[in-house]
Amino acid sequence: MMISLSDTELSGFSRLMFDAAGITLAPSKKALVEGRLSKRLHALGLDSFTAYLQHLHTNVGERQQAIDLLTTNETYFFREPRHFAYLSEQIVPAVDPSRALRVWSAACSSGEEPYSMAMVLAERMGQRPWEIVASDISTRILEQARRAIYPMERAEKIPQPYLKAFCLKGTGTQVGSFTLQPAIRDRVRFQEVNLNTTLPDNGQFDLIVLRNVMIYFDADTKRAVCRRLLDVLRPGGHLFIGHSESLNGLDLPLQTVQPAVYRKP
């Protein structure tokens, strides 16, 4: 039997997600919350979402599982191609050859974004050093990213030269899927990071990518997250956000280069 989610219970989950991740669950997300969490009620033998909320306040592991389930993880390879063109044509040629180019994919989901950037850098950087850090708040999605096994249809957006050079078609039990060459997989370091808390000490970056995440944040949360990111962005470094997002009105020390591309002076 399907258990219904009340408006009051939705408000409770919204508070939990805001406190944990800065994410606001709008009333329009009611069906999504109900659908994604109902299986956890059944698994735990609970008869209401109120009982599940109470359980989350005392069980850290289950709270992480609820956050995982409520975090939207839509992504695909080479999403927003203009960003990858900018990385290849503008950022790579300008980097100081005496040090490593460092990139942070700050909400990497199941890994398509950082692996796409790794393919670009593997092609364009030659023997020059580079590294990619990729993070997400969801432990479940990070495990998927580390496995790096994707259905074959997810390869549709990967340019053919990259597909041939850096991807491996599955065989045997993996027929119908593909993965990345170890030379690409091993260059991406994944870690769990909550952007709404103190960031781990990962050094300074030339490029930070935070795309299609801030649509879930209110203005104050956006400003706070961006200021944390800017603290670890090198002067002259770039910030990419989603094309449906904007930093207008946030009073941040950034120059707009083109839509969804910003530069720290």
Diameter of the chain measured on Cα atoms: 63
CB 65 within 8 A of CB 16: no
Two tokens, residue 38 = 């109902």
* Catalytic residue (one of 36, 124, 140, 234): 36
Residues in the chain: 265
36 carries an active-site annotation: yes
CA–CA separation, 140 vs 132, rounded Å?
20
CA–CA separation, 23 vs 26, rounded Å?
9
* Catalytic residue (one of 136, 187, 206, 211): 136
DSSP for 35-80 reads: HHHHHHHHHHT-S-HHHHHHHHTT-HHHHHHHHHHHS-----TT-S
Name the β-bridge partners of 256.
262
CA distances from 196 to 77, 137, 157, 217, 223 (A): 26, 10, 32, 10, 11
SS3 percent helix, strand, coil of the chain, rounded to 5, is: 45, 20, 35
Give me the active site residues, please.
36, 136
